[in-house]
Structure 1
Amino acid sequence: MASTWDYGPLGVELKKNVKDSWWRTFVWSRDDVVGLDASILMHPDVWRASGHVSSFTDPLVECKSCHQRFREDHLDGPECPNCGGELTEARHFNMMFKTFVGPVEDQASEAYLRPETAQGIFVNFDNVLTATRSRLPFGIAQIGKVFRNEITTGGFIFRTREFEAMEIEYFVMPGEDEDHHDKWIKDCVEWYTGLGVGPDRLRVRAHDADELSHYSKATHDIEYLFPWGWGEIQGIANRTDYDLKAHTEASGQNLTYFDQASGQHIVPYVIEPAAGVDRAVMTFLVDAYTVEEVTSASGKSETRTLLKLHPEIAPVKVAICHSPGTSV
C-alpha cells in the first residue's frame, strides 16, 4: 500500500485548483467541449469490447531470490535491481483491478474498476450527441478517479495505483484528425507553460511504433524534466475510429454521426488529450520549488527556500505576515 497518498488541507486546495484551471481552459472557455461524469463501475463487456481485458497488460518478471516483482520494460539490465538475483521469464499481467458486484463472488458477478475515463465517454457518445446537438468537431471532457494495478510504483505521486485523470475525447472528421492532433498538442503544452512551468523543462516525444497502444494511430507524450530525468505527464493520442466501432460491434448500438453536408453516417476519429491530476500537481510543485539568495534587513546574505506557484493554482492566495512582538 506504499503507493497510496492522502492530500492535506493545502494539498487538496492545490489539487482542486489544478482541476478547476484545466476545466476552465478546456471546457468553459470553449464552445466545442462539454462535460461528463460517468460511473467508475461499468459492465465487464465494455472492457472486453475496448480491448482492455485482452490487451491492457504489462510484462511482469519476478526475482527468483528475493521474489520482488518488476516491469520488464522498466529494468536497465537482466538482473534483479534489488539483490542482483536471476529473473523469471516475462509474463503478461493485466493491470485492471477486479472486483465483484453483489453478495456472491463468482465469475458472473465479476467487474472491473475503470483504468481510464475514456470508455465512459464512448458508451455515452450517442446520448451526448442527441442531448447537445453537437456538430463535428466537438469534445467530451471528464475528470475522475481511475485505478491501475501497477506492478511497480514510485516517484512519490508520479506512479500510483489510484489517481485522478483529466481526459477529453475530441471527435473529428476522418481525414482532419492529424491537424486536430497537432493543435491539441500545442494547446496542452500551453496550459502548462501558462501556469508557470518553464518551457525548457518540457518536451514533446512521439511514441515509436512498438510503443503504441492497440487503438492508437499516433501518440505524443508531454514530458517534464524531473530531478530523476524526463517523465511523462500527459499523452495526446489519435485513437482513430477504433473505440466507437468496437462498441458498435459489441453492443449493436449505432454510434455514428450524421454529416448533413454529405448526407452520410460516419464514424468520427478521436483525438484524446489525457493527463493525470497527480502528475500535474507534482510537476507544478517541482517546478515551483525555488532556492534563492536574499539579503536580510541587517544586510546579511541568506538562503531561503520557497514555492513560486502561479496564483491561479496556489492554495493560499493572500497572506498577512508580521514579526513576533509587532502589531499589524
Structure 2
Amino acid sequence: MFLNCIRRRLQFLGEKLPRYQRNISKYNTRDDSCDKTSLLKQLCADRYYISPEAFHTRTCTYGPLGTELKKNIIEQWTSAVRSRAYVFGITTSVQSRMCEESVRIVNVGALQEIINQDSLSKKEASQKIQTLMKDSVSVRTSLLQGALQQYIQALELVNRTLPFGLAETGLCHHSDSQLRHSSGCSFEVTESSLVWFCSPRTSSQWMDYWAHQRLQWWRKFALGPSDFDMCNVVDEELKEGTSHGVKVLYKFPWGSETLETLWSLGDTLLLKTHQGTYTKLQCRDGRKSVVPHVISVSANVDRGMLAYLFNSFQLLKKTDNKQKLHQRMVLKLHPTLTPVKVALDMGRGSSSELRRVCEGLFQEFLEAGISTWPGYLDTMSLSLENLHTKYDEMGVLFTVMVSESTLKSGLLLVRNRDTTIRETMHISEIKCFLLKYLSASENF
C-alpha cells in the first residue's frame, strides 16, 4: 500500500521529485447541511469531544468526553457480540507477518533523503527505497488475520465444537483507496472485530443472523434509527474467497459511509493461514469432520462515534418571554453512551457547606458507577440558563443543583436534558433514581 503513495512521486531523471506534501481531502457538503455540520464541528471542539480534523480526514484526536464516548461504544459493541456462548476475547500483535496485506511504517526522513539525491539513477533510487521498506515495520490492516492464527488453540478450548467466535478491539491501518479523492495512503483507526467459525451447512444462516443483529445494534442507540441502513456488497468489491458481503451504513450530510462490514469467507483464508495442518483444522459437525466456514464482522469505531454524534445532535429553537428566538444545541446521546450522566452544581447559599454536600454526592455517585461532572468546582459563575446550555452541549443527562433548600430540607433540583423539566427530589432518593433510569435505558 505504501508503494502507491510513492509511485506517483517516483518520476526520476529529467524531473526533480517534488517534496512530500500532505493533501487533506474535504467533503463537498450540500448547502442545507453545511450549517449543522459546522455547528457540530465547533461544539465537538469546544466541549472536548474530537478535533475538527475528524470531519475532513480519516483520523482525529479525542478529548476527555470523546475518549469516554468511544470507550462506551466499544464496551457496548463487545458486550453485544459476546452475549452468545463461546465468544472469547483475544489480543493480537499490532505488527503483521502477512506483508502482502499489511502497511509498512517508513522513516520519512530517510525516504526524503533518497528522493533528494539527484545523483541517483531511477534504478538506484528504487533499490534504496525497496531496501528501506524491507527493513521497515509492518503493521496490520485488520484484526481478522490474528483471529485466524489463533483458531487451532481456540478449537481445542471448545472441545472441537462449533460454532464459536473470537472478538478483539485494536488499532489498525486502513487504506483510503476506495475514497473519491484517494492518495493511496493509510490512516489509523480503532476496529472492533468478531471472527465467527461455524459449520459450512449453516454459514448462510449465521451470516443473515449477524447482519440483522449488527444493524439492530447500531439502531438501538440512535436518536434517528432510519439514518442507519444496510446493503449487500457488489460482486466487484468481493474479496478473494468471499461469497457474500454486507455493509452497515450511516447517512452523513455528505453521503453514506460504511461503519461495519460483514464477510462470508468460506474456508479459503483459514486453509491459507494454516497450510499443511488440514486435520488440525477439522471439527465435528454431527457425525462428519469438517473445516469450518468463517464469518468476519469488523466495525470502524471512529466512524461509528462520528455517526452517533451527528445522529444525536439537535438544534432546538424556542421563544423567550420577550419574544426573542433562541437556538439551543443539544447532544441527545443515548443514556448508555453519553460520557457524563450527571453534572453536580451548587446554587446560592453557604459555599463551604454546599460544597461538602456536593463532594459527598460526588463520591456516592462514583462508587455506584455513575459518571459525574464536578461542576461545583468551577470558579466561573454562570447563570442557570448558561449552565444548562453548557451541559446540553456536553450531552449531560441530568443536572443536579444543590442549594440552600438542600441544607434545610434535603431537597435537590434535578433537570432532565431531554425533557428540560426541572423537579425537586430528596437527596436520599437521587442515587436510586439515577441507577433505575440508567438500567431501564440499557434495556430499551
TM-score, normalization: structure 2? 0.55
Counterpart-to-counterpart distance in 2, 1:109 and 1:301: 63
2:105/2:137 contact within 8 Å kept: yes
- Which residue number in structure 2 is paired with residue 307 of structure 1? 331
Structure with larger RCO (C-alpha < 8 A, sep 6+): 1
Q: Would you say 1:169 and 2:223 are equivalent positions?
A: no
Instruction: Report the alpha carbon displacement of residue 253 of structure 1 after superposing the two structures with TM.
Output: 6.8
State the one-letter code of the partner of 1:244. L
Kindly tell me: are residues 152 and 257 of structure 1, through their superposed partners in 2, closer, same or farther at Cα, counting changes over 3 Å? Answer: closer
Residue 97 of structure 1 corresponds to which residue in structure 2?
103
Following the alignment from structure 1 to structure 2, what is the Cα–Cα distance between the partners of residues 252 and 34?
Answer: 23
Alignment of 1:324 with 2:382, yes or no, is: yes
Unpaired runs of 5+ residues, structure 2, are 1-21, 25-56, 107-130, 348-380, 385-401, 404-444
User: How far does residue 320 in structure 1 lie from its aligned partner after superposition?
Assistant: 3.6
Other-structure match for 1:18: 73
Give the whole-Å Cα distance in 2 for the aligned partners of 1:152 and 1:186: 25
Structure with greater helix percent? 2
Partner of 1:292: 316
Partner of 1:93: none
After superposition, the Cα gap between the structure-2 partners of 1:303 and 1:160, relative to the gap in structure 1 and judged at 3 Å, is farther
Name the one with the larger strand percent: 1
SS of 2:201's equivalent in the other structure is coil
Aligned partner of 1:62 in structure 2 is: none
Give the match's secondary structure for 1:284: helix
Residue 36 in structure 1 maps to residue 90 in structure 2: yes
Determine which structure has more spread, i.e. the larger CA radius of gyration. 2
Cα offsets for 1:22-72 (capped at 9, x unmatched): 111111x221311111111133xxx26xxxx2xx5xxxxxxxxxxxxxxxx
Residue-pair matches, total: 270
Q: 1:256 aligns with which of 268, 278, 281?
A: 281
Q: In 2, Cα distance between the equivalents of 1:164 and 1:289? A: 23
Which residue of the other structure, out of 140, 158, 179, is the alignment partner of 2:166?
Answer: 140
Question: For residue 292 of structure 1, what is the amino acid of its counterpart?
Answer: L
Match of 1:184 among 210, 215, 221: 210
Relative to the length of structure 1, the TM-score reads 0.74
Q: Percent identity?
A: 25
How does 1:1-328 map onto structure 2 within 5 Å?
Answer: 3=57, 4-27=59-82, 29-43=83-97, 47=98, 53=100, 96-99=102-105, 109=135, 111-133=137-159, 135-151=161-177, 161-249=187-275, 252=277, 254-259=279-284, 261-262=286-287, 264-296=288-320, 300-320=324-344, 324=382, 328=403
Superposition deviation, residue 302 in structure 1: 2.1
Report the residue type matching 2:92 in the other structure: A
1:17 CA drift (Å): 0.7
Matches of 1:255 and 1:301, distance apart in 2? 70
Equivalent AA in structure 2 for residue 309 of structure 1: L
Structure 1 residues 320 and 134: alpha-carbon distance in aligned structure 2, compared to 1, 3 A threshold = farther
